[in-house]
Structure 1
Amino acid sequence: MSHKRIPKRKAAIAVGGVAALGAAALLLPNANASQSNGDAATPRTFKSNDVSDVASMLASQLGDAFAGSYYDAANKQLVINVVGNNSNVVNQIERAGAVAHQVQNSTADLEAAAKTLRTEASIAGTAWSVDPKTNEIHVTADSTVTGGKWNTVESTVKGLGSGVATLSKSAGTLKTFVDGGDAIFGGNARCSLGFNVTAGDGTPAFLTAGHCGVAAAQWSDAQGGAPIATVDQATFPGAGDFSLVKYDDPATQANSAVNVGNGQSVQINQAVEAAVGQQVFRMGSTTGLHDGNVTGLNATVNYPEGTVTGLIQTDVCAEPGDSGGSLFTQDGGAVGLTSGGSGDCTAGGETFFQPVTTALAATGATLGAGDAGAGAGDAGAGDAGAGDAGAGAGDAGAGGAVDPSASAADPGAGDAVDPGAGADDAAGADQNGTHHKSRRQHN
């Protein structure tokens, strides 16, 4: 049966086939309220989205004394690591409202250690990232790293010296999460849409994982369906894991929002840098919505396909099909794109994400609405093609447009996922109930 094509398509990032976890609960509106304090010596409370700007400012001011930073979520404070006991440095930190923490390893020390790891221990199945909370590099080796490979990694870590790096064994296998799931489809691959954007030429597009972009040139919102978007740029492996995919229809309306299921959505307002200790939420087409914390920065992951650098490490679970899905904060900050990891959402594990800020800078795209095609002022999101393309984008496509009545702050806030709400129900409703409506809009 043929249907009349609607000239301006709409899509939202939505849940694909989700595991048994509920949709996001509404977050307390004032859960992350920022407060200023008149006493310069008394630490301020910060919103997690704000700490990266202050940390960057202090890093430039303190020079070699700056040894990293992290977010103390329990107290909502920014902690700045410093080498040495220079009182002027401490005063600068306190005047900015942050907390000074004296540590052993300088930034240069940790960078040198990471360089040694890259040179001597770049073995498939290993990964490492800097953890400013411990002022060390955390090295992980998965279940495939055994025998001589394990001995090489272990001896390299020990050779770095005491208190520089730690080594742990992961029960899973480090891999990209490209197969499985019910979202966007390209060739034999299935992935998740990350964020709708406006490409440098003003046309609507979306970001997803780079290993998805190199797996197929065209993407559909239904298995075996007609392509709705074409890969414009893709990086993987190497300096990142991201791709820019342009909607084939320049009149596509792209909404800058993440549909978290059950009629709720989070409006995406800006791209933000990750901070260790920051609470983040991940949306993917296989497992739906999960939350956790950033545990490391500038991570290097040695996948079977090659080495990827510059990633964010978290303890948020993910599974095949979640690749490319969005990592975001409760107040609408776009943080990352799902790259890969080990484990699953039953046993847990570690996961790695491509920073959105880096992907935007490399592709020349901008987050959110734009003036793309045919006056599609919301150029950021595309019709589900996009969404589908994304994570559940297909669903997203499926899910249709983001519900404008849903408060971005609320779902965004969702400090916790409501275990009582069945994700299967919330997401399944989108898949089974609205996906067909979305597809009619595409025809």
Structure 2
Amino acid sequence: MYTELLQNKNIRYYLIGGGVSRLGDVLSGMAFLFIAYEITESTIFTTAMAIAETAPYLLFGLIGGVIADWLPKKKLLITLDLLRIPLIFSVFLLHQFNLLDYYYLLIVSFAIQTIGCFFNPTHRAILPIITEPEERSLTNSLNDTLSRGVTVLSPVISVWLLTYGTIYFFIIDALTYFISVICLLHVHFTEVKKEVNKSVKGIFLAIAEFFTWAKRSITIRQLFTITFLIVFFNTWVWEVGLLLALSEMSGKSEELYAILQGVFGGTVILTNITIPYFIKKMTMKIYLTGAVVWGAGITYYGVFYQIEHFFIGAILVGIGLPISSLARVYLIQSLVPENKLGRAFSSNAFLLYLANTISLLFYGVLVSFVSIQWLMIGNGMIILIVSIAVLHTITIKHTKLSWRSPINFLK
């Protein structure tokens, strides 16, 4: 099944280019933090660098989706990659001549992530154009598997690169953007030319137009709202809460956390590969079913609250999360018109970053008053309740509609 799909030249080059580019993004993201700390030896300045890597998505994420819908997608992606190559390479050159300072590094990091605000929704919006509806579930699975695989592989590559020096991360990153350009040149598709109001006012009107449309689409509205809630209740207890809990239980918390993330990553990859064999068409019910398993995983490791049970909970999350993620992407691709896909994916990313940021800030304060275990249990239960409640409502609604539908005995 996968072999047959990869015989499609467009899909093959799309996936290779996206996977390689993602690897470069992960490596340079780590490198900016490493170099920032080497230069300043300050946790405050290093934190500011981390903020510079996420802030652009809150500032320009929605605008990036508009541009993705307005401009020719292939030409835009190649231009953005060609802009990133000299920016990244300049960091390496300045470092070699001992001219690199923190503020230039900060500016480049911010610029690279800002470019990503325009690149990512455009790249996502191409996939429905180059695939047939029956190919999308499988292509989405491969795309997500590559992204997750890169996340698992990047620590191994980073350890090897560190033996030569952190600065060489940027050389690899520049090379990945070059490979991405070559792959994009081999992807061919036809786009419909659009007449739009290309102005600053037009950008905000386009954003407002999309949200007005999304508000009228019941499924998209539910999808965005539930995703925001699930990510909000998941982010802190997964990214921070687990690490803090392991710190209370063991003197090797960082090693255990890394192994836990590895088990999670492996489960996600296995789930991604397996799903297309059983599910050809994603629905809102499948999205919510994944969310139920996801919430069950968080609730499980919160209730039992022991190291071995953290691993079982991580496996459950590793099954539920990709099911929901693939269903969400499939629904967006299927329900959103082609001329709104860029805005749909950028809005989705914006909501994810917003939920992540608010979750980290809110629970970072709340953990001073409530135990980690109770936060895990509470958040997992909320995800479960919300997912089951909406799933129940959709099931009842569909049942009523099927009973009301007239039966044509002459058919």
**TM-score > 0.5, shorter chain as reference:** no
TM-score (norm 2): 0.25
Higher strand share goes to which structure?
1
TM-score (norm 1): 0.24
